[in-house]
Chain A
Amino acid sequence: MDLSWMAWTWPTAAFFAFIALSIMTLGIWEYFSPGGNPRDGIFLINTTRGDRLFISLLGSAFIFLGWLGLMNAELYWPLIIAIFWSVFVFRYV
């Protein structure tokens, strides 16, 4: 099957592999510990593990967009901020 029209690159493939891996990890986590561990975090919204992954990914996307729109420095910095953001979300939100 010719998939050249999809214009795959290694970085974008790695990006989607990371997303798929994150969802699969949550699936396995859910299998062993069902219920999604719902809680009211510091933003006073009720979140499950899946919600927290969604907020981490969406927030990370905007961290990168903000960086690309405003700064001229390397992309390692938003990556570090996004990792801190994700840890914060999984720990406190």
Chain B
Amino acid sequence: MNKTVNQKAWFLVLPVLLLVAFNAIIPLMTVVNYSVQETFGDNNFFWAGVLWFEEILRSERFHASLGRQLFFTFSILAIEIPLGVIIALAMPRKGVWVSVCLVLMAMPLLIPWNVVGAMWNIFALPDIGLLGNMLNGMGIDYNFTRQPVAAWATLLAMDVWHWTSLVVLLAYAGLVSIPDAYYQAAKIDGASSWAIFRYIQLPKMKRVLTIAILLRFMDSFNIYTEPFVLTGGGPGNSTTLLSIDLVKIALGQFDLGPAAAMSLIYFLVILLLSWVFYTLMMRNEE
């Protein structure tokens, strides 16, 4: 069948383009303008060229924040994606328990980010928190406000608790869309559970998992509220992720030029990694 070529249809995209221009392109242009200048407020700007980019790209502080951010993002992806798929595979496909499971899975996603941070902060406090108190009672020395390893473990646990449900729901949507005929054919062929997963379920989940990985990658790379409320970037700078560091530079130190340069580098890293993920995952698609 031949496709109809009608370029006038592009005009239908115009309202979205205008909306994106106001909420994304114009602010981004402003950030680019700020990144090459110095300001002390009152709309007075002084040309700085590429100085802020050089300063940020060569700063140990930026390298450390970027390293922590990458470690955080790849850790939660390595945990949440397989765990989400395993839970989705274990969920019932028919009966009353389907609704119960779906509601239970959706609940963490409905809680605002700052509330999740506050909940986990109280939950993990070593003296009065249920988790912290219990771990210390079991003889495990745990204090996320003083120990970097404990802070990281709590941060990862919090993100896994909050966001694995998203992967579960997406993977589940992919699983229920597989027609029964596939399973019947596999049964006739005597396929093992692993073979069914590898050659039927996983390929059918590929598109939704691509979306899940991209969403979780971008969200976790942008994460701010939850770690800020839970640890505030501490102890020391041990959980200072890129976004927390950026806010410290922009609002704490009011260094708008370096903050703008850092924002652009941050944006380009997300853009590059998202593109690489998407391209690799869609490589074998027709």
Contacts and interface: CB of A to CB of B under 8 A. Distances in A.
Contact of B53 (A15, A44, A68): A68
A69 B57 contact: yes
Secondary structure dominating the interface of B: helix
B29 A6 contact: yes
B36 A68 contact: no
A68 B268 contact: no
Interface residues of B, number: 26
Interface string A20-38: 0000000000110010000
A6 B37 CA distance: 11
B54 A69 contact: yes
A61 interface: yes
A68 B33 contact: no
B147 interface: no
Nearest to B7: A31
B192 interface: no
A58 B54 contact: no
Interface stretch (B43-51, B79-87, B164-172, B219-227): B43-51
Contacts of A16: 29, 32
Nearest to A4: B43
Interface in B29-64: 29-30, 32-34, 36-37, 39, 43, 45, 47, 50, 53-54, 57-58
List of 3 A-B pairs having minimum Cβ-Cβ separation, nearest first: A69-B57, A7-B33, A4-B43
8 contacts: A7-B30, A7-B33, A31-B7, A34-B7, A58-B271, A65-B268, A68-B54, A75-B50
Interface of B: 5, 7, 26, 29-30, 32-34, 36-37, 39, 43, 45, 47, 50, 53-54, 57-58, 265, 268, 271-272, 275, 279, 283
Interface of A: 4-9, 11-12, 15-16, 30-31, 34, 44-45, 54, 58, 61-62, 65, 68-69, 75
